[in-house]
Structure 1
Amino acid sequence: MIIQKSSNPRISSFDPTSFSFGNTFIDHMIICEYNNGKWGDLQLVPYGPIGFTPAMMGVNYGQACFEGMKAYKDKDGKVFLFRPEKNAERINKSAKRLAIPEIPKEIFMEGLKTLVDIDRDWIPHGEGMSLYIRPLLFATEEALKARVSEKYLFAIVATPAKSYYAAPVSVKISDHYSRSANGGVGFAKAAGNYAASFYPTQLAIEEGYDQIIWTDDSTHEYFEESGTMNVFVRINDTIYTPKTSEKILDGVTRDSFLQLAKRRNLEVVVGDVKVSDVIAAQRNETLKEVWGVGTAVVTSIFEALGYNDEHLLLPKLSEEESFAAMLKKDLTDIQTNQAEDPFGWRVLVEEQVYDL
């Protein structure tokens, strides 16, 4: 690996008690270029702009995908990643669907661990605090030709993170717009998936909601995802969540929640979640909780559902009563090294001495 450390690091001016998530970037980033049919040298360089033209194929034809993951710091200053191999696998699953060359796992993992190690001082410690990490792949060839690009860039950037969506949110059940369709790229973390979601979300916000629960494209009878999250429903004491498919992202947090629920011997049903069943449960007061899960938010508990022209309130449960809150604590305790890790999910980032 080629390491070029910043000559003007900003860490001394970073205030972990006051920063903007998503706009505050650590001192370095990882880059690796693909050209002439192969990946080149992995590089750690100072964070900053990279020169491109408006003719870059990733901008024009949408060959771009990414991942979302986090690093955590415990009370002793040790740094951990959470299930990074899942992100390495999934970025290549996305890349394959978008005809992007897959990034070798060893390049992904070496770049990830080196960046987190060198910029470990940027990782805030405390409840809800972490370093949000964004690996991404995109086409960089300068050509206005509707074909597969011949040049790509793998990069990793990161931003300190704190809790958001901390308060319960209201979500609208979509009866027109869909996030994805059969045969599409819904299972991939393709950049275009998010662009297509923004307009319907804006419409929902104008109606007083915070997010959307996406439904299937053909009938709008089944839950799929919520915003950028996987969705869970609790009716009585049974947890339901849609099965993953070519339309639904195989979320790392979703999979972790399922395993933690089974470890607690909670009843979990993975399969079709009918809108009509959820609405009926709300009306007969057996619907206890609906929540979303994802890397950035971990858990977002919903306080109301918008259905047709109705605003349907959900029960206000205490943390002791809430399965969502209980499973979130189980997960974050593992991530932050406050509990045993029976699954082997937590990966220690060893401090290294680099030959610069």
Structure 2
Amino acid sequence: MAGPEQNAHAKNSRRLFLVSIPRTASNLLVRVLDIKHQPNLFANDKSGYFFLEAFTTATYKGYYAKSIVEWTDDEKSEIRSLFQDCLDQMEECSAEARSKGKIMFTKEHAFWFVNPATMLDADGDHESRVQQDDFRLNFPDYGPTQTFSPNNKTVFPDEYLRTWQFAFLIRHPALAWPSMYRAMRKMAKDGFIDDRAATATLLTNMTWRWTRYLYDWCSAEHAKGCPAPLLLDARDVVHDRDVVMRFCDEAGLDRNALRFEWDDAEPGYPGAFSGREKAVADIMMSSLQSSRGVIKDKTPGRVDIDAEVETWKAEFGDEAAALLEKTVRAAMPDYEYLRERCVKA
């Protein structure tokens, strides 16, 4: 249970951590919330993405394409060091937010801060469990103990996670997964990622497992006095403004700052990226960057998986369609579980 000192730190810091995965309209949500102009909020110029470097480095070097027991000590040390660097940058930003009396905001994808030894341990291998300690980060400033409860699959101990309020964004997997597959194919074609790394990225991305673990952890901690987790579905971001307003109220944001239309000349935050990351950001945010507002037909109110499979066969071929169908159906129980717990108007 969180001690009074840890709960006080969390309350005084007011930190909001939005957890998403690619192709869930998370960049759209950031623009609708108008994070940069929320009067009580403070974020970096990317509205988060502190842990992007750790994940992309492991991906581009092919680490996530092999078992954790195949990682060398140098590879594990490299990624752990990157996790620490990413954390240090996030904590510096948080300190600046605190000095300004504002809520710290960040948006990160769920698997970016999952312990690699857990992510690559699909069969519950004992050796992989032992290697989880190689990536876990220590936080002496957040209490004398460093614990990792069963639903905490991240590199952060429970004591640190308790200092944040978490919000989660989900989307129907039959909409998110093919969009992700399409983006990965584009990146591979343009030479930003090889086929092996693209496949590994897809397999680590196309699941709601890590989101559900962390949501369940937050729910259990809420019963002990920690902030309640918030859940939002991309469908509601697109189709139900009342839900987005309710989300703002519960997250401590200003609903008057919401924007559902914008000037198409606005650059958004891809301009905050450079080099390889900018090229990837341009691919991932192309639809948003060319839009002037929320595009409703990209997120239909009802999804027919059987009908979608036929469109995937026509676009991607039978083999890819079979992979997408398998991962979509496997993800549906977690999606439906989370969907039931979303913010309501």
The alignment's TM-score, normalised by the length of structure 1, stands at 0.26
The alignment's TM-score, normalised by the length of structure 2, stands at 0.26
> Larger Rg: 1 or 2?
1
In terms of fraction of residues, the more strand-rich structure is 1
In terms of fraction of residues, the more helix-rich structure is 2
